[in-house]
A and B are shown apart, each in its own frame.
Chain A
């Protein structure tokens, strides 16, 4: 019982079904873990204990009465604090929304709730998901469970750290340029960024609308497949939501990968990539090769332009998406103002943090009169080239593999003053969002005691190939089983 918190979704689900534990036990396990550790880790911004126990009581009653249970019945979940939860504060880790309580649920959260999952709390992030270290939170920093002096990555650092420290069985994050995969990599858990449009964005507080996707953090690949089954699906409230049949992703588990074609884009193993990270990823690839996959090096020359495209286009969208925080209908309103103009300027200047303001200004600049063609329009053109290049590659390869993050977790404060170094954290993950394709990060070893993640990408809607390869890898290695000592 003591180690309940360390189990996966499929493990506790089986125990619950078998009547070995009840829903309340599961909550007890995770909340006692949070109480024991979260002062150190700082994964959570809000806990929803009361509501969670109410929900658990209902499920336990259902079990007692022999009623049919949802697939995720009684499974606790942590949700990044930029995903709307009705009646529960959704702060985006910003002073701007410190007291904001959404009047509706995000579609993704609603679906998981329908399947029986129980919200246990909202996790920390870089303010409005802008950052790669969770240091930009207005409220607290989150520490990497593998080394408390280091960052968990970002922006979904709270979600990644919660799962890595067994303070959650799974968590939801959002990924605009790597915000799920990079912290998953740095914290040694599985993180998935879906095909653009596969998971509804309704209720996700927008950062870069054409890049944003909600996705899961899990302890293993099987859990990831289980969650994708629930998260994926058409939503009429999101016009960019894909209206296709996704199938059952758990069918891609335990499959032979013999003959699968794997490409290694050389640009993702070059300059700026820590040699040990590179080695561990290539070792992982060797495992797959040993299982019968064909591996080839390829080149994706446009990938090096992904980061500039991202910083122009995502910032431009953000400048518009974040304009609504004006102190009028909700959110922070400055105490001192003597005119409408001051109400706007003071509320926004006081309510937003430095990085958010910088990106808003950057985005405003690239859209402003006289600069649109030089920046924004150009970025959209290069975006097409990057997407096309991926499409061509996927005509030859089932999946591409690269490191998720160029380095392991860095020290807290190490990159806060070096804008570009911080931005470079996303160099391997950003191209995926540019192209709108799916990718996973799976643990592939430890470098100096810190986790390294391997990124597996596929064409749009090629999730099954990713799950297949990732699961085969996991089954033939023991990296996802490794836990930090806490």
Chain B
């Protein structure tokens, strides 16, 4: 199947997401759609998948102009898309999830019918057996790792007989080994005659498996290259463009940090909440140190952060800052003025949607407010945050719910970093932000480190962790699985610590890392 997008444009209000993009996707080819967040890659592919109609231009399938007005239409043409957010039902089994997406599912779904009758299993479970031989069909999806879930999404799309597969940032949630496995699978699918469009902002993805690279920036198609004709450096330049150079993110130098005595001591920390638990956590943070916490999500990061800032009760251990016990198993948990917390999904977890921005900023120190609060200084503080962090629209009287998620995130970061703190716990502070905003947040966060705060930074982005953190602690199954120095460590070693029990040379097979659990909050 050959698809051509001709001069396609899409506008959302004043923003032009795609401006006259032409692109063709040939049979048996892997096209990498490369660009930064917000470059318009996903929008372009969502139009091909029938989620938005294009404002301008045409889509040609095998030379015929075709209007793709719904995902159902796209699927009937043989175009399938795997999104960043999975549409799997965790409480149901692998087989049930496959049956739900299968167009001609049988009425009786007795499990033994699939395992005994070859004819039937030949249809629904074929790809499962082929691509994930170790995965039992009756496993519940909530017991699967992120990589396995993604694989299941892919199998769902393959079951629809898709000839063109669109994968939206598939490697962003995967540890390095699983990403490597995915690249192999993409190559195999292409060799089988399917076309794969890989939406990505990562250079490794392009280098590992693309035939052709399409670079996008600000909604425009910048260039189309054969893989062999391009180098990483040239691609980065095309991706970034002649952007006004921002001041580089500076972190306190390693040597000056490691010479300091420890400021924050975490000793034998243990806690449990719902299905999640952490135990035996021993960490030290020096003043100005940025300690990265890496791990597959759902391995206890969330609970660790909650335990440090006093939102979860400790079952053992304590947290000591400058010799003073802050949290301890013998006391009820309490928040402290010395600690800042940027929780994950700040738009949900850190603001009250129906209150104004001023009140939301004041909430972080509401114990210090007088009984009849003076709002003028609070408003001034809020205005300065809005200005410094480029929150749009910069009106402190708006309700928090009226701002977009990215802007709320910037507001929360600004609020949490405005005072001097001893410990800053930041969980995924840049998740979902475009490169520019992420850059600004890193700058603000690490400036605090230079001022002497200790920073515990939880992230899923191993590249960023390797670049900025002084040390990286890997959390797996609620325990620290290893602490690495990013100057010397190999990313594959870190990846192994994130997923498997032993650090031997064999890559993990799909069924060895089922210990990943989903959090109750998720």
A binds B: no
Which residues of A come within 8 Å of B, CB atoms? Answer: none
Which residues of B come within 8 Å of A, CB atoms? Answer: none
